[in-house]
Amino acid sequence: MHLPHQRGQVHHLSDDPAAYDAVLAGVTEAALARLAPEGNLENRAASEDIGDTSLGITSLLALAWHRTKDPRLPEAVRRSLAFHLDSRVFTEDNPGYPNLTLRDSGLPYARYVLEAGAHPVGDWPSTVWALLQAVNVLDAADGLVDEEQYRELLGVAGGYWRWLTQATVFNPQDAANQAIGCVVGGLMLARHLPPTEGESVRRRSMRLYLDEVRARRVRDRGALLPPEHGGAYDNNYGPISLSFLAQAHRVSGDEVFARDGDALARYIDARVCGSGFDIGGPRYSEQHSAFESVLGLRYFGHRVGADIGRYAGDSRWARHAVGADGEVDGHFAFMLVWQIQDSTRWHRTPSEAPTRHQLRSGTVTVSFDDRMTPSVIEAGGTALVAAAVNRQHGFGPVTDTTLLCRPMGSVRVADHRVGRLAAKLVSKPVVGRDHVLRHVRSLYVTDGTRLWTIVVVERLGGDGYLLAGMPYVAADGDRFRRVGDLPLVTAAGSLRLTHPEEGSPDSFDARAALTQQQAAFELAADPRGYGDPDAGWRHLRTSTALEAGPAPDAPDGLDVFAVRYGVAATEPLTMVCERTEEGLVLRTESFTAVLGGPDPHGEPLLALVPVTP
């Protein structure tokens, strides 16, 4: 089976204006064929996220008219705008909506589901999206919409803003993408208001961003990030937040959005594999956005000089939302409008700057979590994620059923590049159940196609082994195919692939036709779509795991583990470890590494010499 939502790197999409003209032409023909007598442009197969969709198509038609002057479009825009104003603007409180701070305000809002009381909790983001569609139509109204419709729409947009910021709790779902979207709506609306009123809305927008979004950022992997549904980053909504930050900077020019977008972009660059694969998040572990992410990935990828557009999006939503029937949908159409208006081109080459939380070269990637433990290893076209043993998750030495990867003190990192080799040495103090403090030194070396992982730790004794990951997906064209084994790995000592016993509800067998996200939601306390799959996944007791035994002939008092990923196991891995005056010397068939003693500041020393063929 394939992962359902990761379907190709986003930067494969063309950024050429002619390609966007073709997209708009297709949307135009589909919309004109769909246009109902009353002006409705909604996808009739859609029942949720409905409050902004017809207006979203209207905004695309308005943009298309400015680019093509197609004589069929002015009437379609006016009729569809009239439909939204007459039939999709609600002013009576939605029964059951839990987040009102001002009842019976009479202010307009958009509904997530049209039926009263059916699903009111989604009305806040739906109103944000409706506001953004409205300001895009206002921006394109000149020469297209008469004064009466313009004024009516401007009044509704102002009412949306007041409902979002005065009549309800701000950002009730704790989703930064929605909150930043609201800020963008205010900044864009302000440009259409009289100067004094516009300045008031602009100041309020900036205050909301600073106090309600920026002040609540969450730290992960050394970066401060806008929180998504209670977590630091979500694979679906995180890149959408990046797009909103891009638009906020485009509209306002305020450097706070540029700085925060740069930080989020560098974080994405550090966590995403070279193939675009990513995993983990507080709302969706494996569901990825596509066209909604393009603006941010393209805009900030160019700013920071990194190929963050390699992010694997969902090609079914490559240019715009698609309904259940496969037809165009107006939901989130504002993102397509903005990316057409933005002239930034894709930056498709990797950044060469060393990154603390990633080692990347060629087709090899190691992404590290906050503990500087790998979260994903990708080599030979296959990605491994953290395995689980005795409810402990990660990569690292195991002794007495204790996984030694959680640091008990400062984690030190040294990066080194020489010739075709790139390396990272991670040193961390750890404590086991025996209360013994051990220093684990993990060396990761890659030549761009292979990855060597060598872990050195004080003698574990007993049946100690290295937990070396769980094979999870392999690249299969633009898709990722689930796998349950890994032939492209070998070890200097013994190597085995173990699987949990059948029928255990808190285990994960990589051979099963199941995704991590599905299993995680089964273990989460909340239903799918609302809970935290990362929290559910933390309940996992055991999983499929690669387990490597110690290499032979290690120096006295040490256990040394060596694993090579990315090459068939028929090619043996040789590794010799010895103590010298320079430090601990590790020799493989491709390089010699010297792990020196700490410098005067306690930082680890690493030297690397390639082996000449």
* Segment 394-434, tens digit of pLDDT: 999 999 889 999 999 999 999 999 999 999 999 999 998 88
pLDDT for the residue numbered 45 = 84
Q: H-helix or E-strand containing 606?
A: strand 605-610
For residues 183 and 241, what is the distance between their CA atoms, to the nearest angstrom?
11
Tell me the H-state helices in 343-500.
Answer: none
CA 146 to chain centre: 42
Q: Which residue has the higher pLDDT, 496 or 572?
A: 496
Q: Which residue has the higher pLDDT, 487 or 603?
A: 603
Tell me the H-state helices in 253-349.
Answer: 255-271, 291-304, 333-341
Task: Reply yes or no on whether the pLDDT at 444 is more than 80.
Answer: yes
pLDDT category, 526, cuts 50, 70, 90? confident
In the three-class reduction of DSSP (H, G, I as helix; E, B as strand; rest coil), residue 56 is classed as helix
Q: Tokens 């983001």, residue?
A: 125
For residues 481 and 460, what is the distance between their CA atoms, to the nearest angstrom?
36
Q: Tokens 């285990």, residue?
A: 507
pLDDT category, 445, cuts 50, 70, 90? very high
Measure the CA angle with vertex 445, ends 456 and 275; round to 5°. Answer: 125
User: What is the DSSP code (8-state) at residue 351?
Assistant: -
* Segment 82-107, tens digit of pLDDT: 999 999 999 999 999 999 999 999 99
To the question of pTM greater than 0.85 for the whole model, the response is yes
pLDDT for the residue numbered 355 = 94
pLDDT category, 503, cuts 50, 70, 90? confident
In the three-class reduction of DSSP (H, G, I as helix; E, B as strand; rest coil), residue 496 is classed as strand
Contact 359, 414 (CB under 8 A): no
For residues 281 and 228, what is the distance between their CA atoms, to the nearest angstrom?
9
pLDDT category, 528, cuts 50, 70, 90? low
Edge-first strand order for the sheet with 374-379 is 358-361, 364-368, 374-379, 382-385, 470-476, 479-482
Q: Which range is least confidently modeled, 17-21, 153-157, 489-493, 512-516?
A: 512-516
Edge-first strand order for the sheet with 451-458 is 412-418, 421-431, 437-446, 451-458, 558-565, 489-491
- Of 197-211, 276-290, 422-436, highest mean pLDDT: 197-211
For residues 375 and 385, what is the distance between their CA atoms, to the nearest angstrom?
6
Contact 145, 79 (CB under 8 A): no
If you average pLDDT over residues 183-202, what whole number do you get?
98
Which tokens hold the place of 179?
Answer: 């909150």
Which tokens hold the place of 483?
Answer: 């796998």
User: What is the DSSP code (8-state) at residue 350?
Assistant: -
pLDDT for the residue numbered 104 = 96
Radius of gyration of the chain (CA): 27
Amino acid at 558: L
pLDDT for the residue numbered 151 = 98
pLDDT for the residue numbered 537 = 87
In the three-class reduction of DSSP (H, G, I as helix; E, B as strand; rest coil), residue 460 is classed as coil
In the three-class reduction of DSSP (H, G, I as helix; E, B as strand; rest coil), residue 440 is classed as strand
pLDDT for the residue numbered 112 = 96
Contact 41, 78 (CB under 8 A): no
For residues 419 and 609, what is the distance between their CA atoms, to the nearest angstrom?
9
CA 602 to chain centre: 34
pLDDT for the residue numbered 374 = 97
For residues 412 and 460, what is the distance between their CA atoms, to the nearest angstrom?
22
| C-alpha torsion angle, residues 249, 255, 259, 261 (rounded to 10) | 0
Task: Reply yes or no on whether the pLDDT at 505 is more than 90.
Answer: no
pLDDT category, 529, cuts 50, 70, 90? low
* Segment 362-373, tens digit of pLDDT: 999 999 999 999
pLDDT category, 612, cuts 50, 70, 90? confident
For residues 432 and 412, what is the distance between their CA atoms, to the nearest angstrom?
19
* Segment 297-343, tens digit of pLDDT: 999 999 999 999 999 999 999 999 998 888 999 999 999 999 999 99
As a whole number of Å, the end-to-end CA separation of the chain is 40
Which tokens hold the place of 581?
Answer: 């005056």
In the three-class reduction of DSSP (H, G, I as helix; E, B as strand; rest coil), residue 399 is classed as strand
Percentage with pLDDT > 90 across the chain: 83
* Segment 455-499, tens digit of pLDDT: 999 988 788 999 999 999 999 999 999 999 888 999 999 999 999
Task: Reply yes or no on whether the pLDDT at 162 is more than 70.
Answer: yes
Contact 431, 438 (CB under 8 A): yes
Contact 344, 299 (CB under 8 A): yes
Percentage with pLDDT > 70 across the chain: 99
If you average pLDDT over residues 215-236, what whole number do you get?
89
Q: Concatenated DSSP letters for 207-254?
A: HHIIIIIGGG-EEETTEEE--BTTBS--TTHHHHHHHHHHHHHHHH--
Amino acid at 218: V
